[in-house]
Structure 1
């Protein structure tokens, strides 16, 4: 049986048993869930990432720092090793993520202070400091930043040093920066 016939049978089955599958959900919710499911089935392209209903790629990135980095006040911390960069929004040369599409995004970062030293860093949305982390112990110590932001296309997100500090990392990838679109 070819794919279009199988998809048609699947769709008819979902509509036929929609009430049983969805329980007490209203018809509008049932229709939107079935529509979303069909769009995911029909738009999936593993080589190009998941495609949203609008046909755009789902932006997502994850990068780590693989070495110590000295930073002055307001310097961007550049996470140099990129594992994922769907939508090409993250630039490891600058350390900045530029939103390729408008939407609600989730961002997180983990940082490690150098042994016995302070480290204060912040996550920035364009020119606005969103959240900060202050790390100080006698040993190496990690701290984390996490937030959800409503971005416009072209908005920039970066992790910046608050002052002159050393960010510690090595080939075990103690420091990371990642984000992805939740919806748009």
Structure 2
């Protein structure tokens, strides 16, 4: 949304330079009024850019050995608004109900492969698998509807121990979109 407003602002400045500022100012004000109405209708009026659940965490240890059915614990937490992601457990807990977006990139160590799953609560939501190519990786992006208290995490799914690459090649992120 902010990107749209930024581009729209640049267009407004360009139009001001060529003399059509009155028409653009009316249009800009109309868009701001519309966005204000949308925010007033939001059931979570206190959610803003500082209270919106969002996190980004990567894996630093290289290589990282992950055992059978183990949850991957992304230890380098760079963003963690409202502290919904816990690096000690590797688990994100939804602080509010709504639609969330989650992304992860899993990079296997050279010549290795790694099977994983993204879980919602204790059920598989999607599966992922890296190839055994030189540092093969897999990107997973999903949209998940969560209730308050639901959890999301990345879990190793093969029946043998495997290794993944740290050094920030492997990461997990998520953010609240809307109700």
Which TM bucket (shorter chain)? Answer: 0.7 to 0.9
Give the TM-score taking structure 2 as reference length.
Answer: 0.74
Correspondence 1:11-160 to 2 at 5 A: 21=27, 32-36=34-38, 53-56=44-47, 57-67=51-61, 68-160=63-155
Distance 2:123 2:104 in 1: 17
| Deviations 1:76-122, CA, capped at 9 Å, x for gaps | 00000100001110000000000011110000000111111121111
Aligned to 1:180, the other structure's residue is in SS state strand
User: Structure 1: any 5+ residue segments left out of the alignment?
Assistant: 1-16, 40-51
Please report how far the alpha carbon of residue 169 of structure 1 lies from its aligned counterpart in structure 2 after TM superposition.
1.4
Q: How many residues align?
A: 149
Q: Aligned residue for 1:48? A: none
Moved segments of 4+, more than 6 Å: none
Question: Match for 1:165 among 115, 138, 162?
Answer: 162
Alpha-carbon RMSD: 2.7
User: Structure 2: any 5+ residue segments left out of the alignment?
Assistant: 1-22
| Deviations 1:52-71, CA, capped at 9 Å, x for gaps | 95214200000000012211
